[in-house]
Amino acid sequence: LKHLSKPLDELKADYDVVVIGSGYGGGVSAARLSALGKRVAVIERGKEFLPGDYPDSFDAMRREFQVSGAKLKLGSRASLFDLRLGRDMHVLVGCGLGGGSLINAGVALRPDARVFANTAWPEEISSDGLLQEGFERATHMLRPTPYGGAAELVKYRALEEASKPFDVEPRPTPTTIAFDAGANAAGVAQDACTLCGDCLSGCNVGAKTTVAATYLSLAAANGTEIFTQGSARYVTRQDGRWSVAVCETPETGARTEVSERTVIADVVILAAGTLGSTEILMRSREHGLALSKRLGDRFSSNGDIIAFGYGAKGRVNAIGVGHPPKAETDPIGPCVAGQLDFRDGDELNNSLVMQEGTVPSGLASLLPALLLPGGKILDAAKSLLSSVYKGPLASLHAFFLAGHDSSNGRLELENDAMVVDWPEITNQPVYRRADEILAEALGARGGSHLQNPFESRITGKKPVTAHPLGGCAMGQDADQGVVNHKGQVFDATSDGDGSAVHDGLYVCDGAAIPRSLGANPLLTISSLAERAMILLARDRGWASDDGAPRAREKRKAEATL
């Protein structure tokens, strides 16, 4: 994997397309539009990481942590792990070139078809066949693959035991990980996964098929200029084009951002993630942009829950060893190797998926202390003595769940911070259902559910999601949504039927998703972005219906390869 980014000082004044943010939505947009010969710039607030750069000790992870809320800002604003404190719920997102793909488990699932048939979506999504095309393109690029040896992993066998009380068979989970070395779909060489289990703190092997290793590498090969440590503040319309105000990402928690500069483009794609894109549009509204009153609505946590189980009989091996390995153990496996799919054929919103997971090795030394509030002082002490890989913590279970919620949380800008306002979040039925399943699953292993191990003075007992969705949700018109099915931002000034849009302004990321998916979101976000880029290219006459660049653009595209 090559270094892809340039310093912000080299940002030019003018591009055809500016993409803000470099996660799944941003990566897809930059790759597809640069392939049409467009002059594209990507601006990412975080840093670039190459395999070997990711934090793998507690100290290094702490240095890569930022926490912010309306009243507090800690750590560098460019740190990799970004915890946003809300009023009722907290959100964890990735910050760096590649967005969430740097620190996620790479689980790539297609949601139940009933999700897209729901009235929360504009009807074109389920009717025009382009979402299917989007899924095919994203699957081709990201190559989700289950680990072939999953059934031999200790943690997978523990999941089999945990599944006994249910009528559900464990299945290996498809993840965007290279289990064999070789070139990926973007032609980038990746090493084979060493089964170290550290996916959530970043893959130091280079086996994780991140956005940087795929879409962004392709975009760079097509001539896209990629800039890191630049934060977009807001957009304004100027002489029929878009102006984006950008500042250097502040090193500290300073509230006043420095070195504001502007860049002009015909097309701006907001792909700064659910919180980032909503935040930029809220600031843009303060600078005069007419937007739907729905901005900030339809926030969903995707029923995302991280749970731990303690005291089970027998080892689980749910703690990563890192690369190079910090301990001699049986292979740990990819962070997620297997899952139980609790699909409810009658009631979609009752469906959920539960995956077994691993804690990255950098957090291993913290785990004994996390058990202290549970009163397990003796066990914690034993773990410290015999290392977390051998003592009681070897039987720690970690589970990730994704389900459905009412998707009616609200994002608000308070003191320049995005906060989740959702007083009734803990009453969502998904939490009760998850608790029941966890109690039975862990009971079958002789263990019990550890409530709120990460509770602290700063976070309190509030739930945390790593799957934030919505805020700039799609809708049929400006009364119902912030963007249309193509990701075009509705223009709320016009008197027409609510379908008018701001020409050339798009949201292409998790923010545009109008409801919970009940499955890990990366594949849907990528597929919707693929779909939006097909439509954008057609609408602007940049590509024909089969996606081929128009002749002039094709010549330019070939010249940049």
Burial class for 412, CB neighbours closer than 10 Å (0-12, 13-18, 19+): middle
Quick one: what does residue 466 bind among ligand SF4, ligand FAD, none, with the CB cut-off 5 to 8 Å set by partner type?
A: ligand FAD
State the DSSP code for 77: T
Residue 522 in the binding site for ligand FAD (CB under 6 A): yes
Determine the interface stretch with ligand SF4 among 23-31, 39-47, 189-197, 528-536 (rule: CB under 6 A). Answer: 189-197
Cβ(127)–Cβ(113) below 8 Å:
no
Quick one: what does residue 103 bind among ligand SF4, ligand FAD, none, with the CB cut-off 5 to 8 Å set by partner type?
A: ligand FAD
Cβ(3)–Cβ(47) below 8 Å:
no
Residue 334 in the binding site for ligand SF4 (CB under 6 A): yes
Distance in angstroms (rounded) separating the CA atoms of residues 330 and 333: 9
φ, ψ dihedrals at 177, nearest 5°: -135, 140
- 3-39 burial, b at 16+ Cβ within 10 Å, e below that, comes to ebbeebeebeeebbbbbbbbbbbbbbbbbbbbbbbbb
Cβ-based neighbour number of residue 451 at 10 Å = 13
Q: What are residue 97's DSSP bridge partners?
A: none
Determine the interface stretch with ligand SF4 among 196-204, 238-246, 286-294, 444-452 (rule: CB under 6 A). Answer: 196-204
Residue 44 in the binding site for ligand FAD (CB under 6 A): yes
Distance in angstroms (rounded) separating the CA atoms of residues 526 and 176: 12
> Which tokens go with 316?
């689980």
Residue 329 in the binding site for ligand SF4 (CB under 6 A): no
Distance in angstroms (rounded) separating the CA atoms of residues 313 and 198: 24
Residue 418 in the binding site for ligand FAD (CB under 6 A): no
Distance in angstroms (rounded) separating the CA atoms of residues 367 and 369: 5
Residue 326 in the binding site for ligand SF4 (CB under 6 A): no
How many chain residues bind ligand FAD (CB under 6 A)?
39
Determine the interface stretch with ligand FAD among 112-120, 121-129, 152-160, 518-526 (rule: CB under 6 A). Answer: 518-526
Which residues between 237 and 296 bind ligand FAD (CB under 6 A)?
271-273, 276, 280
Cβ(85)–Cβ(68) below 8 Å:
yes
Query: Which residue carries 């009453």 as its tokens?
Result: 427
Quick one: what does residue 475 bind among ligand SF4, ligand FAD, none, with the CB cut-off 5 to 8 Å set by partner type?
A: none
Nearest distance, CB of residue 178 and ligand SF4, angstroms: 8
Please pick, from the candidates 207, 213, 307, 444, the single residue that binds ligand SF4 as defined by CB under 6 A: 207
Residue 203 in the binding site for ligand SF4 (CB under 6 A): yes
Please pick, from the candidates 21, 23, 172, 197, the single residue that binds ligand SF4 as defined by CB under 6 A: 197
Residue 162 in the binding site for ligand FAD (CB under 6 A): no
Quick one: what does residue 196 bind among ligand SF4, ligand FAD, none, with the CB cut-off 5 to 8 Å set by partner type?
A: ligand SF4
Q: Where does this chain bind ligand SF4 (CB under 6 A)?
A: 177, 193-199, 203, 205, 207-208, 323, 334-335
Q: Where does this chain bind ligand FAD (CB under 6 A)?
A: 20-25, 43-46, 92-96, 99-101, 103-107, 200, 231-232, 271-273, 276, 280, 466-467, 509-510, 520-522, 525
